[in-house]
Structure 1
Amino acid sequence: MTTWRDVEAAVPEFAERVQALFDAHKHKTIATLRADGSPRISGIEVTFDDGELTFGSMPNARKGCDLRRDPRFALHSATVDPVEGAEADWPGEAKIAGRAIPSGAITDGPDGELFRTEIAEVVLTHLNDAATLLVIQWWTPTHGLRTVERE
Structure 2
Amino acid sequence: MTAWRDVRAAEPEFADRVRRLFDAHRHKTIATLRADGAPRISGIEVVFADGELTFGSMAHARKGADLRRDPRFALHSATVDPVDGAEAQWPGEAKISGRAVLAAPGPDDTSGSDRFQADIAEVVHTHLNAEATLLVVEWWTPGQGLRRVERE
Q: TM-score range by the shorter chain?
A: over 0.9
SS in 2 for 1:114: strand
State the Cα deviation string for residues 11-50 of structure 1 (Å, max 9, x = none).
0000000000000000000000001111000000000001
Contact kept in structure 2, 1:101 and 1:115, CA below 8 Å: yes
Change beyond 3 A, Cα 1:125–1:110: farther
The DSSP-based 3-state class of the residue aligned with 2:104 is strand
Answer yes or no: is 1:56 the counterpart of 2:34: no
Aligned-pair RMSD on alpha carbons? Answer: 1.3
CA distance in 2, matches of 1:139, 1:83: 27
Gaps of 5+ in 2: none
- The one-letter amino acid of 1:26's match is R
Could you say if the C-alpha distance between residues 24 and 107 of structure 1 is closer, same or farther in structure 2, counting changes exceeding 3 Å? farther
Question: Residue by residue, what CA displacement relative to the aligned partner does 1:36-66 show, whole Å, maximum 9, x if unpaired?
Answer: 1110000000000011000010000000000
The TM-score, its normalising length taken from structure 1, stands at: 0.97
Alpha-carbon contact 1:106-1:113 (below 8 Å) kept: no
Q: Please state whether the residue corresponding to 1:17 is helix, strand or coil.
A: helix
Cα distance in 1 between the residues matched to 2:43 and 2:106: 18
What is the match of residue 150 of structure 1? 151
Of 97-106 and 14-23, deviating more is: 97-106
What's the CA shift string for 1:44-102, capped at 9, x where partnerless? 00000011000010000000000000000000000000000000110000000000011
Match of 1:145, SS state, is: strand
3-state SS of 1:82 partner: coil
Name segments (4+ residues, structure 1) moved above 3 Å.
106-110
Q: Does 1:45 align with 2:48?
A: no
What secondary structure sits across from 1:105 in the alignment? coil
**1:123 is the counterpart of 2:131:** no
Unmatched 5+ residue regions in structure 1? none
AA at the equivalent of 1:96: I
Q: Distance in 1 between matches of 2:105 and 2:59?
A: 10
